[in-house]
Chains A and B, each alone.
Chain A
């Protein structure tokens, strides 16, 4: 039975982050966490393979102390077990550190026949953890996958590459990253949510992974993060009669030289 590892990130919901117009600083005070949107596709793909092939699914995440809140949501989406690394180092981790930590953990808990990641995280969107993990584990990487099959120990994936698609077949294990169009993640049912409470979770400590200080030191450090401030006219037409609004809009566009 194939053994699958799916990776996910617990991120702040960007819809809840506000930009303070005065100084372009970011206000995270109302932001809640969620499973990164792209990772929901990775989880769903693992679950579909489980349903069609009878695979077992482990999930893994590397995050700050808040990451423990993610376990129930994750398990209700179908994986059998979740490993988590809750460490403040995650807040400053770049792709180099994250891929190293996840690869070392996967080596400890594996081997896995297939490791699935989303195409990027919805916060930093660095799009490098899957291929970097593959490099660390000495496995082939198949990125931007839009359909995925397991056939007698082989992985057959169709990749979407901007102007073309191609089929990549791998003998043996691989790391893949999937694009959102591969599936539509389902919403967990009440039964799944209740069942999640009974599924196992296990903490892994970074200190137990045997990584060197250099492997845990980010190559890229953040200097500033500023909100993108839109400079738009923000003129709203909201008369009760839509014909009036349309007339005003058309007049404004005519003044802009558009029509």
Chain B
């Protein structure tokens, strides 16, 4: 077992993995190899510090590269394989791990090598807890986008090697690739958020939250129930461990009870404010400031106050 292998089909994420990989290289003192699917991505990784970049060619579906990546990792005796935790990346990582008969840690937040094992931390129970785990090598890890900063180009001289792969699985046909049209801005990047939950009794009452958001120059977010059960707002606006994770300057919730999965998505916010009629709602344990009261009474008063 020796080297470190990194891969993401998204080059911004690949450069973040490179930062994590270079950190491991410092303790493992082993070469770092990156896998890329496009020439410009390969060049960027080589320039930013990868010792070697394998440019894979020959398949048109990123998931189809799982087997060639597993073969490369086995041939190179890679000890740690870091894969970008996008949806495609998680799929690929599981297949690579299985191909190597290796363990897989999903969405690791910290990664280090201790006593010839990979030690990681990750969230568990909907974000309620942090689990520290040890995995035998070789080990595969996925890392969520934006967990690490991007490695910056430093005039690296990594070698780039092109490799043709055999055809993919003939049983699988992929078609109708469609970008998802985002409705409005990316709330993960919003500086202020007004978030609505099930305390809102009907869709028309969203206007209350919209008025407040306007007065506070905030974006509207929501809980999973509002997006996925009621469909009052698009899923891109739902905040939680399996939705958007946000870190605004101010997060203000209206009628959000504060289930752990939701709180896991807001806890990097600078200031958390909650309005809910139930004083025992868990959102208040997660909040800096709270108003116990009927949102239908409180929201218009807040809107008027913020307008001043």
Q: How far is the CA of A258 from the CA of B302 in the complex (A)?
A: 14
A223 within 8 A of B: yes
Give chain B residues whose Cβ lies under 8 Å from the Cβ of A234: 284-285, 287-288, 290
B176:A166 contact, CB within 8 angstroms: yes
B interface, size bucket: 35 or more
Q: Among A140, A163, A219, point to the contact of B172 (Cβ < 8 A).
A: A140
Count A interface residues, CB 8 Å.
Answer: 79
B124:A250 contact, CB within 8 angstroms: no
A259:B216 contact, CB within 8 angstroms: yes
A residues 39-94 with Cβ under 8 Å of B? 94
Q: How far is the CA of A40 from the CA of B242 in the complex (A)?
A: 16
Q: How far is the CA of A125 from the CA of B128 in the complex (A)?
A: 12
B272:A19 contact, CB within 8 angstroms: no
B residues 91-146 with Cβ under 8 Å of A? 91, 93-95, 97-99, 101-107, 119, 123-136, 139
Give chain B residues whose Cβ lies under 8 Å from the Cβ of A140: 169, 171-172
Give chain A residues whose Cβ lies under 8 Å from the Cβ of B127: 228
Segment of B40-48, B82-90, B155-163, B194-202 in the binding face = B82-90
Q: How far is the CA of A47 from the CA of B216 in the complex (A)?
A: 45
B292:A232 contact, CB within 8 angstroms: no
Contact bitstring A235-250, B, C-beta under 8 A = 1, else 0? 1111000110111011
Give chain A residues whose Cβ lies under 8 Å from the Cβ of B103: 94-96, 218-220
B206 within 8 A of A: no
Q: How far is the CA of A136 from the CA of B95 in the complex (A)?
A: 9
A17:B125 contact, CB within 8 angstroms: yes
Give chain A residues whose Cβ lies under 8 Å from the Cβ of B249: 258
Q: How far is the CA of A10 from the CA of B241 in the complex (A)?
A: 20
B286:A232 contact, CB within 8 angstroms: yes
Give chain B residues whose Cβ lies under 8 Å from the Cβ of A164: 177-180
Q: For residue B250, which residue of chain A has the nearest CB?
A: A258
B178:A181 contact, CB within 8 angstroms: no
A243:B301 contact, CB within 8 angstroms: yes
B260 within 8 A of A: yes
Segment of A105-113, A126-134, A201-209 in the binding face = A126-134
B260:A131 contact, CB within 8 angstroms: no
Contact bitstring B274-297, A, C-beta under 8 A = 1, else 0? 000001000011111111111001
B95 to chain A, nearest CB (A): 5
B19 within 8 A of A: no
Q: Which of B93, B94, B290, B291: most chain A Cβ within 10 A?
A: B94
Chain B at the A interface: SS class: mixed
A236:B292 contact, CB within 8 angstroms: yes
Q: For residue A164, which residue of chain B has the nearest CB?
A: B179
Q: How far is the CA of A54 from the CA of B174 in the complex (A)?
A: 27
A197 within 8 A of B: no
A14:B128 contact, CB within 8 angstroms: yes
Q: For residue B99, which residue of chain A has the nearest CB?
A: A135
Q: Among B90, B279, B287, point to the contact of A127 (Cβ < 8 A).
A: B90
B267 within 8 A of A: yes
B133:A221 contact, CB within 8 angstroms: yes
A124 within 8 A of B: yes
B260:A141 contact, CB within 8 angstroms: no
B126:A26 contact, CB within 8 angstroms: no
B180 to chain A, nearest CB (A): 6
Q: How far is the CA of A163 from the CA of B9 in the complex (A)?
A: 13
Q: How far is the CA of A130 from the CA of B86 in the complex (A)?
A: 16
Q: How far is the CA of A243 from the CA of B305 in the complex (A)?
A: 10
Contact bitstring B167-207, A, C-beta under 8 A = 1, else 0? 00101111111111000000000000000000000000000
Q: CB within 8 Å of B: which residues of A? A: 12, 14-15, 17, 19, 26, 94-96, 99, 119-120, 122-128, 130-132, 134-136, 140-141, 143-144, 158-172, 174, 180-181, 184, 218-228, 230, 232-238, 242-243, 245-247, 249-250, 252-253, 256, 258-259
Task: Name 22 interchain pairs, CB-CB below 8 A, sorted by A.
Answer: A17-B125, A120-B106, A120-B242, A131-B91, A134-B95, A140-B172, A144-B87, A144-B91, A158-B176, A166-B177, A166-B178, A168-B173, A168-B174, A220-B105, A220-B139, A228-B130, A232-B287, A232-B288, A234-B290, A238-B279, A247-B305, A249-B289
Given A160-B180, A234-B290, 5 extra CB contacts under 8 A: A135-B95, A161-B86, A220-B135, A220-B139, A223-B119
